[in-house]
Amino acid sequence: MYKIVAKKCLNPTVTMMDIEAPFVAAKAQPGQFIILRTDADGERIPLTIAGYDRTAGTVKIIFQIVGATTEKLNHKEAGDFLQDFVGPLGMPTEIEGLKKVCIVGGGVGCAIALPIAQALHAAGCEVTSVIGFRNKDLLILEDEFKAASDRLFVMTDDGSYGRHGNVCVPLNEMFEAGEKFDKVITIGPLIMMKFVVAATKPTGIPCVVSMNPIMIDGTGMCGGCRLIVGGKTKFACVDGPDFNGYEVDFDSAMERGTMFRDFERHAHEETCNLFNKEVK
């Protein structure tokens, strides 16, 4: 059993937890993920490691409440326990030797981008971060990104906070000004990553995308995270989650991403109804 030592609501649909898992914390690296179960009858879900404290033996996770399991997880409080917490899994993000990097995060994907930015910053790399959200109410981790970045651009689709527009606005401005990076690393919704890759491609700067958003069971057995990379079939959880953005077939990945939408919505509604009945 794994103890929840801290819980914090980041916005109405996103929650952060620190989990007591010393063996995972001892080996965790930016870009990797864990698989957890809330209880003995729960399903397995992969969540990216959003941070770790090797001294305290804790691992930070940040999740969006989108389905039945994340709804159950959100009903747990500090002091409660998780049934399973397995990891670290997946290949770590490659950061060695990088001197100047642009990190582009969107929505809850910023939780994945943050530890990468922090690791690069700690290694002496010049970090430019661009984070985007639909509106001010969905903003998360701004202070943490400020601390880990030499420059930070905060974007909102509706202009309610930061700058008005999507993450490609400052990215294109920097490229048009002739700015160069060793690498662009982007994590967020598939459509966002597709456009970041398209914006970066003319510059020839290497662009890495994290395909965490399409993972389901985290082992490759379900086939839900299957994608086409460079004309070959890959699995995000086993072969990634990081890939060369120029080789990813985003259109097929987005099409596959809609397969479980109705099922997850139904399961989420059933779980919400169950908790509402318990409260009454």
What are phi and psi for residue 243, nearest 5 degrees? -140, 160
- In sequence order, the 6+-apart residues with CB closer than 8 A to the CB of 96 are 123
Q: How far apart are CA 179 and CA 158, in angstroms?
A: 27
Phi (first) and psi of residue 130, to 5 degrees: -125, 120
CA torsion sign for 234, 240, 246, 250 is positive
Could you give the CA distance from residue 225 to residue 257 in angstroms, rounded to a whole number?
A: 8
Angle between helices 250-257 and 190-200 (to 10 degrees): 170
Structural domains for the chain:
2-89 (2.40.30.10), 100-257 (3.40.50.80)
At residue 192, φ and ψ (nearest 5 deg) are: -65, -45
pLDDT digits (tens, 9 = 90+) for 36-51: 999 988 888 888 899 9
Chain centroid, CA 125 distance in Å: 21
What DSSP character marks residue 245? G
Per-residue pLDDT, 9: 93
Strands in 163-164's sheet, in edge-to-edge order, are 163-164, 151-156, 126-133, 100-106, 183-187, 207-210, 242-244
Summarised one tens digit per residue, pLDDT across range 115-164 is 999 999 999 999 999 999 999 999 999 999 999 999 999 999 999 999 99
Give all strands (DSSP E) within the chain, no chain letters: 2-11, 14-20, 33-37, 45-53, 58-64, 81-82, 84-89, 100-106, 126-133, 151-156, 163-164, 183-187, 207-210, 226-229, 232-235, 242-244
Q: What is the pLDDT of residues 65-76, one digit of tens each?
A: 888 888 999 999
Helix (H, G, I), strand (E, B) or coil at 37: strand
Q: Which residue in this structure is represented by tokens 């970090």?
A: 127
Chain centroid, CA 122 distance in Å: 20
| Residue 56, token pair as written in the block | 């305290």
Given a cut of 80, is residue 177 above it in pLDDT? yes
- Reported pTM: 0.82
Q: Phi, psi at residue 248, to the nearest 5°?
A: -85, 130
Q: Scan for tokens 């809330």, then name that residue.
A: 38
HSE, side-chain direction, 13 A CA sphere, residue 146? 5
Write the DSSP assignment of 64-82 as a string of letters: E--SHHHHHHHT--TT-EE
- The Cα diameter of the chain in Å comes to 60
Q: How confident is the prediction for the chain on average, in pLDDT?
A: 86
Q: At 262, is the pLDDT very low, low, confident or very high (cuts 50, 70, 90)? A: low
Residue 60: pLDDT band (50, 70, 90) is very high
Residue 231 class from Cβ within 10 Å (0-12 exposed, 13-18 middle, 19+ buried)?
exposed
Is pLDDT of 267 > 50?
no
The total of other beta-carbon atoms located within 10 Å of residue 153's CB is: 22
